[in-house]
Amino acid sequence: PVPARLGLVTGTARGTNINAGGKTLYTVEHLLSAAAGLGVDDLDIEISGEEPPAMDGSALPFAEALLTAGLEEKPGQLRACARLAAPVEFLKGETRYRAAPGPAGLAFRLVYEYPHRLVGRQALELRLTPETYLTQVAPARTFGFDHEIAALKAAGLALGGSLENAVVITEAEVLAKGGLRFADEFARHKLLDLIGDLALGGLAFDGLTIEAQRPGHAGNINFAKILTENCTEPQ
């Protein structure tokens, strides 16, 4: 088995990869995001292959599958929630993360910016619950720029990538099957990824507000390490 833990992260290029015992699992963030977003913190996952299926590029199929299977609380087992005593930050270039004590629950403020006329600046605020995750975060699909995808395929990567499982941004237009699901779908998918990467810390957070500016997988993992190191023991 490969535990889903921060210490086992071995790659953050175009996704988050974990490795244990010589076995690498790629792009685990969407599946972990679905579990964390629904409040699932005890789960065995069997994968036949090196990565979870891309599905439609979002976490919604995974979330729906978990709900269809059914979720239940373990008898006699209380969920432990970690808290933060003082604000913490991670800064690198134009990327910034900050977590601070806040009201009960877990809230996010996220800004995604990219110098492209069809992207620009997207900002969102969301208080995370299973309901808000399912309707406001899980459906947001992964996205990429056409020149990046061409380079990846030339290198033998992302060979399964298509409009069936990604939103593609060209110089002239945004290509998305069925159109964009949200006006700020790119920012929402960045939040989806952040939730999945934070899940590798193995903690459930309460009374916390997280801000992220221009997040990405590498930054997510570095921030998750700082956050978990500074949280109080779960109570």
* Residues tagged active-site: 217
State both tokens at 163.
């409009």
Whether the Cβ atoms of residue 140 and residue 182 lie closer than 8 Å to each other = yes
Alpha-carbon distance of 8 to 211, in angstroms, equals 25
Question: What are the beta bridge partners of residue 108?
Answer: 126, 210
Alpha-carbon distance of 65 to 136, in angstroms, equals 17
Helix 185-198 with 29-37: angle, nearest 10 deg: 80
Following CA atoms 145, 95, 186, 196 in sequence, which dihedral angle do they give, to the nearest 10 degrees? Answer: 110
Alpha-carbon distance of 190 to 216, in angstroms, equals 7
Pairing of strands 17-20, 9-11: antiparallel
CA angle 94, 5, 27 (to 5 degrees): 65
**Enclosing H/E stretch for 9:** strand 9-11
